[in-house]
Structure 1
Amino acid sequence: MSRTSLAEVEERFNAVAGSADLGTLADQLFAIADLFDREHGLRRNLSDASRPAEQKTQIVRVLLEGKVGTAALETAVAAVSAKWSRSGDLADALERLGVVAASAEAEAQSRLDDVEDELFRFGRIAAANLDLHRTLSDAALPAQAKQELLDSLLTGKVAPTTLRLIRQLVAHPRGRSLEGGLEEFGSLVAAQRQRLVAVVRSAVALSEEQKQRLAAWLRTSYGHDVHLNVEVDPRVIGGFSVRIGDDLIDTTIAGRIEEVRRRLAG
């Protein structure tokens, strides 16, 4: 998968995901990825680098508008606008971002550790229970039947994100073994903690373009993806401030006034 193309899609995803319900966003990205996997002709057309990006984005908008939320739609538009080395990379990228959205929801609920542990433990349980493993890996068994089995086994016993990820993997293995898929999803969940969170305070709401530019600049500066939590605060007066951990970048007028006061007091 092209790192450059994936980075472009992730940038758009980061810009639009903050205002979305993350669980719903994950489900919708999974559904779009599954659609592209299922409809081979559609996937080939949308991943064809020789087709104009405007043509492909128009197809996606006609196909998905009104059926998924804005965040899922804009992520899909970014995905078909990017250039991929093989057609399967398009669905791979969307599924990957679905896992990221689900992981971010677990992180917001302080359950990311639970999800990592539960994915690992479920893999061990399935490996030790041959009947369960055979049933979940049976290509002839309808996906809905597998998901209903998982619901009966895991509902209320694992985090909702864990169940969401295992349901996706079992219903849509996409050529992966159960063990391989759980390991892949577990790695993506673990990578979630490497993402930085920036608290941005601004006198006015930032536009999507401003958020994208700021996130891109912070990613370059820190070497990690940065999730923006934007707070509109009239006390800022002008400019904005960004806090990442103990680091503070303050371009606000209020911050400059306070700095002058401190110097005068010193």
Structure 2
Amino acid sequence: MQGAMQGSSADSLARLTDALGTAIEGGADGAALGEGLFGAADVLRAQPALRRATTDPSMPAEAKRALATGVFGSHLDAAATEIVGTAAGLRWTRSSDLGAALEQLGVVALVKAGDAKGEGDRIEDELFAFGRAVTENHDLRDALSDPGRSDADKQALVRGLLEGRASDGSIRLAERSVSGAHLTVTRAIGEYAKIAAGTRNRLVALVRAARPLGDDEQQRLGEVLSRQYDRPVHINVVVEPALVGGVRVEIGDQVIDGTIASRLDDARRRLVG
């Protein structure tokens, strides 16, 4: 997966996201659809010639759609085949954007499947917890990034750690994060968490605090941020004892630093200035 898409790719991704929602609302199995889209993304990543052919701007859209349908139709269910065929018929700024879009749509499908079972909040929380575990456990991070281990071996390790402790959707996304489609596991999980929140029309706030925040404190902070950003905000808390008083809130590229240390630094800068 890569950064935010631009131009034609962004427009195409938006159209496909709507089509995916329509398919699931029409009865398509979100989990199965997600797996199919992941599989198609893997094939496109592994076969540059196919990727170039299905994104060639000089080829008619119907021809590219027919090519994709012919390649994937015998391997995917009808809903996934329709999405992949539609995607091939759209315009993409870069050839790699098609596979990246299918990857993102696969995440959206799994999140929607979990949300339908009332597990949306749980998936967001579990993705964050898994990402923190990988960040803080050097042995685990090394094992999941070891180029000498197969993807299947890494996925088995992830499933062994999470099975019985996390939802099916979270486990599958955690497994997917070590598939080789990403530069790092933690980057993949971070992207998945953003997609999950966006799918549910929410923002994610990373809150750094010197001590754990109680449920009431998290709820009040979430309400304040939701009013400020005019959207629901999901709170993830990281405890950093080195912080002195207050909290530091990160939402996207924006930082709200209310720690004592930050206020003292501001005061020093004003005095020196």
Partner of 1:163: 171
Q: Which one-letter code corresponds to 1:192 in the other structure?
A: T
1:74-85 superposed matches below 5 A:
74-85=82-93
Query: How far is the alpha carbon of 1:10 from its aligned partner?
Result: 2.0
Partner of 1:93: 101
Q: Which one-letter code corresponds to 1:178 in the other structure?
A: V
Partner of 1:11: 18
1:167-206 superposed matches below 5 A:
167-174=175-182, 176-194=183-201
Corresponding residue pairs, total: 195
Q: Which runs of 4+ in 1 moved over 6 A?
A: none
Distance 2:78 2:46 in 1: 23
Distance 1:84 1:139 in 2: 31
TM-score norm. by structure 1 comes to 0.70
Partner of 2:30: 22
**1:76-111 deviation digits (Å, cap 9, x = unpaired):** 011111111101100111111111110101111111
Query: How far is the alpha carbon of 1:68 from its aligned partner?
Result: 1.0
Q: Is the 8 A contact 2:145 2:185 kept in 1?
A: yes
Q: Which has the higher contact order (CA 8 A, sep 6+)?
A: 1
Distance 1:63 1:4 in 2: 24
Q: Is the 8 A contact 2:20 2:109 kept in 1?
A: no
Cα gap change, 1:49 to 1:140, in 2 (>3 Å) = farther
Q: Is the 8 A contact 2:65 2:85 kept in 1?
A: yes
* Unaligned segments of structure 2, at least 5 residues: 203-273
Distance 1:42 1:66 in 2: 16
**1:192-228 deviation digits (Å, cap 9, x = unpaired):** 2229xxxxxxxxxxxxxxxxxxxxxxxxxxxxxxxxx
**1:98-154 deviation digits (Å, cap 9, x = unpaired):** 111101011111111111111111111111111110111122311010111111111
Q: Which one-letter code corresponds to 2:80 in the other structure?
A: A
1:33 aligns with 2:55: no
Q: Which one-letter code corresponds to 1:150 in the other structure?
A: V
Query: How far is the alpha carbon of 1:11 from its aligned partner?
Result: 2.6
The 3-state SS of whatever aligns with 1:74 is: helix
Q: Which one-letter code corresponds to 2:186 in the other structure?
A: E
1:123 aligns with 2:131: yes
TM-score norm. by structure 2 comes to 0.68
RMSD: 1.6
Partner of 1:103: 111
Distance 1:44 1:125 in 2: 38
Q: Which one-letter code corresponds to 1:188 in the other structure?
A: I
* Unaligned segments of structure 1, at least 5 residues: 196-266
Distance 1:106 1:64 in 2: 25
Distance 1:167 1:47 in 2: 28
1:65 aligns with 2:73: yes
Q: Which one-letter code corresponds to 1:54 in the other structure?
A: E
Distance 1:171 1:79 in 2: 22
Query: How far is the alpha carbon of 1:173 from its aligned partner?
Result: 3.2
Q: Name the % identity.
A: 35
Distance 2:20 2:66 in 1: 18
Query: How far is the alpha carbon of 1:8 from its aligned partner?
Result: 2.0
Partner of 2:150: 142
Q: Is the 8 A contact 1:13 1:74 kept in 2?
A: no
Q: Which one-letter code corresponds to 2:129 in the other structure?
A: R
